[in-house]
């Protein structure tokens, strides 16, 4: 779960990591009110969960409250990289002397958390890693001993910081580790960490991603989760309620399968034969007829879908149950959208019988079925 910048900054405040003075606004009036109360130049920052927000015009500056009103009314309701801006963060504009980078994330190959520091902040850290690898300082955190103050100091020293700056930045890095531990973060990042002209070290931005699998032990995010759900479209919302892994794509061929790898491969086959998948939907292992029914309802409720390709490989999943779910969904929705079903494995004969009695052809090969689905989608697009 990604937190908005303002939510991450609220957590930073709990840990006494310095952040710019500021507040969140949902209306231009509120934004002006905040700016007035600060009586100095401000930054107005669109709260969206996409990278490259600054370049896309989502961060603007204003010296007078009238300008804040103008910027806020432009940003609120607009879209940045396809995502609607519902809130803006109005905060003091920092007088920047230099920009640094601090972050902690998960290194999959090392199977450890890794702390990363760089004296090149304010730019894409992956770019820095490619172009100036010598400017990236990494420390793999011992999974059993954790991260210690001296390790943070050693890293910050390597960034070239000295004196008070060294102590302040090391302290912030240490606190980031506390946040990782306390909140099950997969990523916490300050980019840029700013040294201001008057000598303060402040987290100008904040990124925080919480491990979805750890949310069961973080009831404090219940409200955040609810607000996150508001960002989903009705199909995504329904899938999330039913615990189905669903990702919407741009095409017109609906895809349902069991098992993430198989569904990904199914999308790939459809693309290989020249089709465009409308979605990824994994019903999971051992699904019952109701799950398949819900899956098909969700996929069919997408108006772009012209044909649905269902790919079932029965292991612990029963083909007869999947067939029942398909039939029930079709009767309920009374759809004319053609279905292409590929079904092999556990209770395959029973499943095929159910579908064939209902007039649905069943194929054995996923490649052939993908080809068929693509042909149908092209015929329908042409008609």
Tell the smallest beta-carbon distance from residue 214 to another protein (Å): 4
Catalytic hit among 4, 101, 183, 246? 101
Is 272 a binding residue for another protein by CB under 8 A? The answer is yes
CA distance linking residue 7 with residue 14, whole number of Å: 11
Measure the CA–CA gap between 245 and 254, rounded to whole angstroms.
14
Q: What are phi and psi of 381, to 5 degrees?
A: -70, -30
Contact assessment for residue 1 and residue 225, using Cβ atoms and an 8 Å cutoff: yes
Region of 64-72, 221-229, 276-284, 331-339 interacting with another protein (CB under 8 A): 276-284
Nearer Cβ to another protein (40/111): 111
- Known catalytic membership, residue 26: no
Mark whether 189 is an active-site residue.
yes
Which part of the chain contacts another protein (CB under 8 A), choosing from 13-21, 24-32, 262-270, 372-380?
262-270
Cβ-based nearer residue to another protein, 28 or 192: 192
Considering only CA atoms, which of 183, 172, 225, 175 is closest in space to residue 208?
183
ω into residue 162 within 30 of 0, thus cis? no
Report the candidate in 24, 31, 21, 23 with the shortest Cα–Cα distance to residue 72: 31
Backbone torsions φ then ψ of 382, nearest 5 degrees: -80, -25
DSSP state of 277: B
Asked if 184 interacts with another protein (CB under 8 A), we say: yes
Please report where in the chains the tokens 């940003």 appear, as a residue. Answer: 75
Quote the tokens at residue 106.
């998960």
Q: Does 233 bind another protein (CB under 8 A)?
A: no
5, 99, 186, 189: the catalytic one is 189
Out of 257, 289, 325, 351, point to the residue binding another protein (CB under 8 A).
Answer: 257
Our separate counts of H helices and E strands in the chain read 13, 19
Question: In this structure, how many other beta carbons lie within 10 angstroms of the beta carbon of residue 378?
Answer: 17
Interface with another protein in residues 323-362 (CB under 8 A):
344-346
Nearest to another protein of 126, 134 (CB atom): 126
Q: Does 111 bind another protein (CB under 8 A)?
A: yes
Note the residues at the interface with another protein (CB under 8 A): 106, 108-109, 111-113, 126, 143-144, 181, 184, 186, 211-214, 216-217, 245, 247, 249, 257-265, 267-272, 277, 280, 282, 285-286, 313-317, 344-346, 365-367
Residues belonging to the active site:
101, 189
């Amino acid at each position: 779960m990604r937190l908005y910048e303002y939510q991450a900054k609220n957590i930073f405040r709990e840990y006494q990591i310095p952040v710019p003075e500021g507040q969140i606004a949902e209306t231009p009036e509120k934004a002006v009110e905040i700016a007035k109360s600060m009586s100095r130049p401000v930054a107005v920052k669109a709260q969206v969960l996409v990278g490259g927000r600054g370049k896309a015009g989502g961060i603007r500056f204003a010296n007078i409250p009238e300008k804040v009103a103008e910027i806020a009314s432009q940003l609120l309701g607009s879209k940045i990289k396809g995502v609607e801006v519902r809130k803006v963060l109005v905060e003091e504009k920092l007088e920047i002397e230099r920009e640094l980078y601090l972050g902690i994330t998960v290194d999959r190959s090392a199977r450890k958390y890794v702390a990363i520091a760089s004296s090149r902040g304010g730019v894409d850290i992956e770019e820095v890693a490619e172009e100036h690898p010598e400017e990236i300082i990494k420390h793999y955190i011992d999974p059993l001993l954790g991260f210690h103050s001296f390790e943070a100091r050693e890293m910050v020293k390597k960034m070239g910081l000295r004196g008070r700056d060294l102590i302040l930045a090391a302290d912030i890095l240490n606190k980031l580790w506390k946040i990782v531990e306390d909140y099950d973060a997969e990523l916490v990042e300050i980019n840029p960490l700013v040294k201001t002209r008057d000598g303060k070290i402040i987290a100008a931005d904040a990124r925080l991603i919480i491990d979805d699998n750890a949310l069961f032990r973080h009831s404090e995010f219940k409200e955040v989760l609810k607000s996150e759900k508001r960002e989903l479209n009705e199909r995504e919302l329904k899938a999330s309620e039913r615990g189905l892994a669903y990702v919407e794509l741009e095409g017109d061929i609906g895809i349902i399968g069991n098992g993430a790898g198989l569904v990904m491969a199914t999308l790939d086959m459809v693309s290989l034969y020249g089709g465009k998948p409308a979605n990824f939907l994994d019903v999971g292992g051992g699904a019952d007829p109701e799950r398949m029914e819900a899956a098909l309802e969700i996929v069919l409720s997408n108006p772009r879908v012209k044909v649905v390709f269902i790919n079932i490989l029965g292991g612990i999943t029963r083909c007869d149950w999947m067939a029942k779910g398909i039939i029930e969904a079709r009767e309920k929705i009374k759809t004319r959208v053609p279905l292409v079903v590929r079904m092999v494995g556990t209770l395959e004969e029973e499943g095929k019988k159910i579908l064939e009695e209902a007039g649905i052809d069943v194929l054995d090969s996923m490649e052939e079925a993908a080809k068929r689905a693509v042909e149908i989608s092209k015929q329908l697009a042409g008609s």
